[in-house]
Amino acid sequence: MQEINEQNIRLIFGLKLRQLRMDNELSLSDLSKKTGISVSYLNEIEKGKKYPKADKIAALAEQFEVTYDWLVSLQLGKKLAPIADLIRSNILNELPLEIFGIEPVELINLLMTTPTKFNAFISTLIEIGRNYDMGVENFYYSVLRTYQEMNENYFDELERSVDKFYQQFHLTKGEILEHKHLEKILIEDFGVKISYTLQDTHNSLRDLRSLLVPGKQPMLLLNKFLTSEQKAFILAKEIGYIFLKLDTREYAGSMLEVNSFEKVLNNFKAAYFAGALLIREKAITADLKKLFNNEGWCPDDFTAIIEKYHCTPEVFFHRMTNILPKHFGLKQLFFLRFTRNEENKDISLTKEMHLAGLHNPHATALNQHYCRRWLSLTLMDDLEELKISGKYTTPILKAQKSRYINGENEYLLFTVAMPRPGTKTVNYSISIGILINSKLRKTIKFSDDDRINIRMVNETCERCPAVDCNERAAPPHVLNHEQKIKQMKSAIDRLISRT
């Protein structure tokens, strides 16, 4: 059980008092007259802002005919038990409600005003989470994605922090920071030791990219097999943690354990800072404008921009999700990262973000098969063929127009596919999909280029009506079931209308 702090004690007492008052059908004014406690003070107690003194607790216990000890205990009846568990947990303390524009008192008022309905809501969420095998980690990342989507994944305070960093360290605005320069800053200005010996420390850490060992003089251990682009991002992210003063953090290069939303949020902030540090806002905006003004689609031009910044394609695509809504007005987009094990062909959607609506494909908890026509997946086929033939040299980039079967939405998709570093059997792809509308056609001049293939796609095989699909990985049993239910409802309606 989590430690009960003073705020939680006040909240639980307030919940209990309000429930007693409501059960006895008393208004605050009625209770005030019977106990001699002012209405305003009773209101403060019920909101969890005040905790009454012993004489007032005794007066309340006498009025409701309960014992003093029961009233001050932290135990609630069955009706309020789930809410009490929520208050006792760390969730209310860890979630920065202010980033969603929610005052803690507003949530408290909801708890106080409709505790039974809120109880049902919480119980339903818990049940859904169990059915879909959703743990705390999924919940925290879902909240983070919502936070990004609410802000169109652009955070001015982080952009300005990068500007401040450039000024403080006298960096040239147009300068591309490579890993050697970032190493020097960490060592000389922040007192961090750096060693490329992580894979030699312990067998279980061989696949880890980085690890910060905290101390009077922190030691940043890096995997010696990292590419220069990977090194640059890791070093820039470490600078982000220090410069932004993000003390609650994951010390490993990847989130091994998610036990705090603050840790998840700070990891995002440090990564955002790193992306903005490596790829300056004005520079990438200018480069994308030049690219989008081309009348014809040329993947080499796109690849050249990525290579210019000495960053990984994933970092560049993430940076695009910051820039496209803010500077190009392209707000209806999604970001996807798929991985595929080429030994068993298992496919996983390992990262996603959707702006201005839940665009497809998106993560499914139902273990359905993603449509194999998406460029995100077909490009990994191309990649594997190049690897087998010994012709693979660099990440491959292509574009596709993905048009939904029996739907109106169509997306312009940019995808890069490459092997996952350190493995021989796992490939992955990074994609940005942008809704095709008049705004996109006006902004991206080459969007109607005939060299960009059009594919009819769907979300999953189980929901797809496509006939004779060569890429189908599973029968459309979900669609068939939905159609059967629809036919049954139609037949019932016809029978009822005849009576």
Q: How is residue 189 annotated by DSSP?
A: T
Of 319 and 479, the structure prediction assigns the larger pLDDT to: 319
For the segment 413-429, the average pLDDT, to the nearest whole number, is 91
121, 110 contact by CB (below 8 A): no
Percent share of the chain, pLDDT over 90: 49
- Residue 486: the pLDDT is 80
Rounded Cα–Cα distance for residues 352 and 336 (Å): 5
Tokens of 3: 């430690």
Q: Which of 130-134, 144-148, 363-367, 397-401 has the lowest mean pLDDT?
A: 363-367
For the segment 163-184, the average pLDDT, to the nearest whole number, is 91
- Residue 1: the pLDDT is 43
pTM of the complete model: 0.77
Give the pLDDT band of residue 147 (cuts 50, 70, 90): confident
In this model, does residue 365 exceed pLDDT 50?
A: no
In this model, does residue 424 exceed pLDDT 60?
A: yes
For the segment 372-383, the average pLDDT, to the nearest whole number, is 87
**Residue appearing with tokens 């004005």:** 282
Of 150 and 251, the structure prediction assigns the larger pLDDT to: 251
- Residue 159: the pLDDT is 98
For the segment 155-172, the average pLDDT, to the nearest whole number, is 95
Q: Which of 18-22, 78-82, 387-391, 437-441 has the lowest mean pLDDT?
A: 78-82
- Residue 95: the pLDDT is 62
Give the pLDDT band of residue 156 (cuts 50, 70, 90): very high
For the segment 193-206, the average pLDDT, to the nearest whole number, is 83
Q: Which class is domain 6-131? A: mainly alpha
- Residue 135: the pLDDT is 64
Tokens of 342: 């080429």
Rounded Cα–Cα distance for residues 378 and 357 (Å): 25
* Domain ranges across the chain: 6-131, 151-278, 282-483
pLDDT tens-digit map of 74-91: 877 666 665 666 666 555
- Residue 186: the pLDDT is 96
Average pLDDT along the chain: 84
Among 461, 464, 440, which Cα is nearest to 452's?
440
Q: Which of 298-312, 398-412, 441-455 has the lowest mean pLDDT?
A: 398-412
Tokens of 140: 């925290």
For the segment 391-404, the average pLDDT, to the nearest whole number, is 92
Other Cβ atoms closer than 10 A to 453: 12
In this model, does residue 305 exceed pLDDT 60?
A: yes
For the segment 471-492, the average pLDDT, to the nearest whole number, is 74
In this model, does residue 120 exceed pLDDT 90?
A: no
Give the pLDDT band of residue 208 (cuts 50, 70, 90): confident
* Lateral strand order in the sheet of 410-419: 346-355, 333-341, 426-435, 410-419, 396-404, 453-457
